[in-house]
Amino acid sequence: MLHARILTYLDEVARLGSIRKAAARLNVASSAINRQILALETELGAPIFERMPRRLRLTSAGEILIMHVRETLKSSQRVAAQIEALKGLQRGEATIATMNGLAGGPLPGFLAGVMGAHPRMHIRLRVLPLDQIPNAVLTGEADIALGYNFPTGPGLRVVASHDLHLGAVVAPGHPLTRRNAAWLVDCLEFPLVLSDASMTIRPVVDLAFTRAGIPLHPTIESNSIEFMMRIVREGNAVTFLNPVDIGVDVARGDLVFIPFQDLKVDPITIKLAVRARGTLDAFPSVLVEEMRVAMPGLRLT
């Protein structure tokens, strides 16, 4: 994102058609604004303004850039206003609709931090089947949807999304942890504990085994991620999960996540969504922003 100062400079120069007038309005030196614009034009490899005898006029590249500048400034103003509104709130509440794996994995640590920052806020966490998560937001039962691969339509706005790749999950000391490169065929000598057909993980696993030409014969199937992790910790079984759901257990040393070459083709997408129409109250808005910032680095814990 462009630096906030140059955004303001560009906006004022575009509005007034003059670096000198923009400098007077902003109470900065004309040379400072001119220097920033020249540096940006060099970086972009295209002029932003056409220098005319009496005024500056946006070029075609400048027109495109100024749209981004003004959208960014408006977005920053909205965020600042929401944060200021939150400071004045004595109480607020938000409802999150999510999945079992996220509720049992990264969300507790993330929400513990939220509670510390906003101790008077009230959060409801609803664990729902995948197909019910979008509807909970559409009907107003929840403010925020967080889950994997849930369907989105015109009534939902995806605020952020991030692709994740499945990997094998095993106990520390498992024979697979000693191999330099892991492939699906290496799992056949161990019991397979897989998610059942109701979970978003299973179609990805099925497709990967089909592509590899390997018959898939699970020893145990379950719709409980907690159960799959627990039974893997007890012996030599192998399961397939994404790194977010088991991040806390891996950090504690209870489980090991092994990336598999065969599973890098079809990612699972974690999505954060809200209603497309209307505006959120102050606290849900800030909560959405904190979750959005956390997602790219998978720092929900």
CATH of the domain at 48: 1.10.10.10
Q: What is the CA radius of gyration of the chain?
A: 25
CATH of the domain at 94: 3.40.190.10
Tally of CB atoms within 10 A around 45: 7
**C-alpha to C-alpha distance for 91 and 268, rounded to whole angstroms:** 36
Mean pLDDT on 282-289? 85
Identify the H or E element spanning 256. Answer: strand 256-259
Is residue 299, in this structure, part of any structural domain at all? Answer: no
**C-alpha to C-alpha distance for 149 and 159, rounded to whole angstroms:** 14
**C-alpha to C-alpha distance for 209 and 267, rounded to whole angstroms:** 15
For residue 275, which of 132, 129, 159, 123 has the smallest C-alpha distance?
159
**C-alpha to C-alpha distance for 86 and 104, rounded to whole angstroms:** 28
Percentage of the chain modeled with pLDDT above 90: 41
Beta strands 193-195; 220-222: pairing state = parallel
Domain count, the chain: 3
CATH of the domain at 227: 3.40.190.290
Beta strands 193-195; 268-275: pairing state = unpaired
Together in a domain, 204 and 234: yes
Helix, coil or strand: residue 242:
coil
pLDDT tens for residues 108-158?
888 888 888 777 788 999 999 888 999 999 988 999 999 998 888 889 999
**What is the value of pTM for the model shown?**
0.64
Together in a domain, 94 and 74: no
Is residue 144, in this structure, part of any structural domain at all? Answer: yes
Together in a domain, 79 and 127: no
Q: Tell me which residue has tokens 């929401």.
A: 82
Together in a domain, 122 and 209: no
Give the pLDDT score at 260: 86
Give the pLDDT score at 114: 82
Residue 98 domain boundaries: 90-155+277-294
Does position 2 have pLDDT exceeding 70, yes or no? no
Together in a domain, 201 and 250: yes
